[in-house]
Amino acid sequence: NPPSDDDELYADLIAAARRQPSATTAPSTAPDPTLTILITSPLPDTTPLLIRRRLSQRLKDVRLAWCARQPLHTGAFATSIFLTYRGLRVWDTSTCGSMGVKISRAGGVLDDGGGAEGGDVHLEAWTREAFEAHKAAEEARARNAHLDLENEDHGVSGSPAAEAATSQQQTQEEKLRIILRAKDMPEVKLRVKATTKIADLVAAFRAQREVEVAGRSVELWFDGDRMEEDDCVGDADLEDLSGVDVVVR
């Protein structure tokens, strides 16, 4: 039988396709250097780890490798750990590239403040409770920056202009030195006004002992009575160098 019009059309299409050059996928030209990652942690009884990883490789294996290097922690420890980069959580599917690590044309890491000594990239390992306590302590420090609340061991001072502007008021309003004492923890020494809230003392203690009190309640007791957070220092009849008991539950 003679060929139909459809047969001739298909033959022309097949011939045209055979004349086309074969398509190949061009290799990626994006840089994918190997980076040195430093993992540290504020958690007790943990040790840092340096590990090498490509820019495009996911970071789940980095987290698991750090957990495996912590001999004092076993069992379900790895499932409770997550990593952060510059204060933001890093997911198991994240890569250094997706975190925003910048690479120069020469293939090196552009220092944007996220690196650390010994590594191109610095990650921190946390539990949820410790990270929430850390963030709460940061918020407390930010609040205390606007209060007349000073730590005796790490004195807070303003600019010379601000100190000069408030010097007269400070001489008129006496400050008290009080000592917060908790079992098995170093003392926290503060300078406070009579108008300082007890809640601010609790926040200051948390800021100084954020790891020890992570996820736990903090109460202040003086002379056998619990101090209510809505009260002021002056309401508790505290004197200069008074000791306040801290109960951490």
44-64 pLDDT, tens per residue?
Answer: 888 999 999 999 999 999 999
- Residues 138, 244 within the same domain: yes
- H/E element holding 11? helix 5-19
Q: What is the pLDDT of residue 133?
A: 85
- Residues 69, 96 within the same domain: yes
8 Å CB contact between 165 and 198: no
How would you label 145-163 residue by residue, b for 16+ Cβ within 10 Å and e otherwise?
eebbbbeeeeeeeeeeeee
Final residue of a domain: which of 99, 126, 153? 126
- Residues 75, 117 within the same domain: yes
Instruction: Say if 22 falls within a structural domain.
Output: no
- Residues 144, 217 within the same domain: yes
Instruction: Say if 12 falls within a structural domain.
Output: no
Final residue of a domain: which of 92, 126, 160? 126
Confidence category of residue 147, pLDDT binned at 50, 70, 90:
low
Q: What is the pLDDT of residue 211?
A: 76
- Residues 74, 105 within the same domain: yes
Looking up residue 228, the CATH number of its domain turns out to be 3.10.20.90
Q: What is the dihedral of CA 218, 220, 225, 228, to 10 degrees?
A: -80
Q: Which residues contact 64 (CB under 8 A, 6 or more apart)?
A: 78
d(CA 180, CA 198): 12
- What's the domain count of the chain? 2
Work out the percent of the chain whose per-residue pLDDT is above 70. 69
93-104 pLDDT, tens per residue?
Answer: 999 989 888 877
Domain carrying residue 79: 34-126
Final residue of a domain: which of 82, 111, 126? 126
